[in-house]
Structure 1
Amino acid sequence: MTATPQPAAAPEPERPSFILPRTVALIGLMGVGKTTIGKRLAEQFALPFVDADEEIEKAAGQSVADIFTHYGEQGFRDGEERVIARLLDSPVHILATGGGALTSVKTRERLKAKAITVWLKTDLKVLSRRVANKPHRPLLRDRSPMEVLKEHARIRYPLYEMADVVVDTGDQSHSKAVEMVLNALQAYVESQA
């Protein structure tokens, strides 16, 4: 009887050489890659990954789109504020926030006090291409993605400037973007030591 060769286990990712002292909160416009990059960062640090929108859906028992339909954007933002406050009281993790989370003064203050905020920034043309034809994004219903993104950039970029770290990921692959964020985080953490 011949033993069947077993597939090799995936190698463990090489851990960063620094420790995160606080939760890392990813901020930025829709389509910038907060969830995808966040999951990969969490894997790198062997930390939990939390998507604020998913947690809001769990708390409300309905989708983000349904929350917008039933309660409007302000109702969604109120729930988002409460959920992010709860998440920031959890042990260190990687948190992907919604693009409009920083429109709440309380959320901005909590993030500044309890997290390392990383603004993932990308050209609006790239973002427009990424979010086109995404029916799960309620803010894009019946509107041009570029029109919405320009409006959001005008309102939110001044809020995002509070970020501890800014990483312009451009149109890089996710792995390259993660590498860029890791390097920027390391520089930030070492500068605070």
Structure 2
Amino acid sequence: MPRVDRPIVLVGLMGVGKSTVGKRLATRLDLPFVDADHEIERAADMTIAEMFARYGESAFRDGERRVIARLIDGTPKVIATGGGAFMADATRALILQNAISVWLDADIDVLAERVGRRDDRPLLKDKDPRIVLRQLAAIRNPVYAQAKIHIHSKPQPHDHAVNAILDALRQ
């Protein structure tokens, strides 16, 4: 197993599998797993959808940055972030400086099929997931590309992505 000396932070579009892959990666590395979105909801005592509705995306992103800053404390762990976290300059700089950043990427059709299983994503509310995901990918993928490691997630078991991350960490 590769030796990890700081947090591993998973970034990428919604539906790419950051939480699922993150949990499995953490298990394989014998590290704690933290879902930043769950930590944000816990800190705010409301859901992300409620935060977006009540305070707007800008206030949500500010809270998200503060929670991620708290999670990136130098202790090795695996952290799954929300799809927009890496887009904020301050959050991205924090991740790039203090963690091993991993961009999980997938084709739009794969993402659309995965996000269609849930109805709790504020950015998709009453919209066609394929259109929204294409628009987000056009804006976000060049930024996600700044991550240290790039893994393309295919429509196969998430353990393939975990193995690819482990291989990249060994290099």
Same fold, TM exceeding 0.5?
A: yes
Equivalent in 77, 91, 106 of residue 75 of structure 2: 91
Matching of residue 132 in structure 1 with residue 116 in structure 2: yes
Shift of 1:90: 5.0
Tell me the distance in 2 between the aligned counterparts of 1:185 and 1:134. Answer: 31
Equivalence map 1:30-179=2 (5 Å):
30-89=14-73, 91-179=75-163
Q: Tell me how far 1:161 sits from its aligned partner.
A: 1.0
1:69 Cα deviation after fit: 0.8
Residues 120-175 of structure 1: CA deviation (Å, up to 9, x unaligned): 01101110111115211111100000111011101111110111000112212112
Report the 3-state secondary structure (helix = DSSP H, G, I; strand = E; otherwise coil) of the residue aligned with 1:83.
helix
Deviation at 1:41, TM superposition (A): 0.6
Q: Deviations over 1:59-118 (max 9, x none)?
A: 100011111110111111111011111111251100001100012110011001100000
Conserved? CA contact 2:9–2:100, under 8 Å: yes
**1:169, 1:180 within 8 Å by CA — same for their partners in 2?**
no
Contact 2:8 2:77 in 1 (8 A): yes
Higher relative contact order (CA 8 A, sep 6+): 2
Q: 3-state SS of the aligned residue for 1:50?
A: strand
Distance 1:85 1:118 in 2: 17
TM-score, normalising length from structure 2?
A: 0.97
**One-letter identity of the residue aligned with 2:26:** A
In the other structure, the counterpart of 2:10 is 26
Count of residues paired in the alignment: 171
Structure showing greater radius of gyration is 1
- Aligned equivalents of 2:11, 2:158: Cα separation in 1: 16
TM-score normalised by the chain length of structure 1: 0.86
Q: Which runs of 4+ in 1 moved over 4 A?
A: none
| Greater mean deviation of Cα atoms: 170-179 or 120-129 | 170-179
Q: Runs of 5+ in structure 1 lacking a partner?
A: 1-15, 188-193
Offset of residue 182 of structure 1: 1.1
Return the offset for 1:185. 1.8
Distance 1:108 1:183 in 2: 24
CA shift digits 1:8-37 (9 cap, x unpaired): xxxxxxxx2x21121100000000000000
Q: Structure 2: which 5+ runs fail to align?
A: none
Tell me if the contact between 2:6 and 2:99 (Cα under 8 Å) persists in the aligned partners: yes
Distance, in Å, in 2 between the alignment partners of 1:158 and 1:181 is: 20
- Structure 1 residues 39 and 133, CA, compared in 2 at 3 Å: closer, same or farther? closer
Identity over aligned pairs, percent? 49
